Amino acid sequence: MKIIGKRESNGAGQTLIVNDSVFDSFGGILAASEAMNFDIKPLTGTSDANSRCVATDILGSRGDDLDVVGRGLDLADNLAPGDWLAFTNMGAYSMTTDSNLASMVLPGTRQRFW
């Protein structure tokens, strides 16, 4: 997933926003009865020798309060928008969920732009 936003918490951690959502590829999070443990591997942004691991929350791109991919994950503090994260153990069991958010009817055909 591509990081599209970042918010730092006064050196105590960071929040990353990715270009996916619990309403898309991470739909299993909403349906799971227990926590899902992803193996997250940064594909970029980790070559800096001065980076350190900090508590990281990952939020989806929808902006919904439920759109939380993970909380308190140990990831490098030098990750930035434009960097990529690999979720290596999602398997073939992720699913998408669509809803008529705020009573707006979704279009019949949509495209991904990432």
Q: For the segment 11-65, what is each residue's pLDDT rounded down to a tens digit?
A: 689 999 999 888 877 777 766 655 667 788 888 765 566 788 899 999 999 888 8
21 vs 5, residue with greater confidence? 5
**Looking at this protein, which amino acid is placed at residue 57?**
D
pTM of the model: 0.73
CATH superfamily name and code, 3-91 = Lyase, Ornithine Decarboxylase; Chain A, domain 1 (2.40.37.10)
HEC profile for 48-114?
CCCCCEEEEEEECCCCCCCCEEEEEEEEECCCCCCCEEEECCCCCCCCCCCCCHHHCCCCCCCCCCC
Is the pLDDT at 1 greater than 90? The verdict is: no
pLDDT at position 89 = 72
CA distance 111 to 114: 10
Residue type, 107: P
The residues spanned by each domain of the chain are 3-91
Phi-psi group of 23: left, alpha or beta (phi > 0 → left; psi -120 to 50 → alpha; rest → beta)? alpha
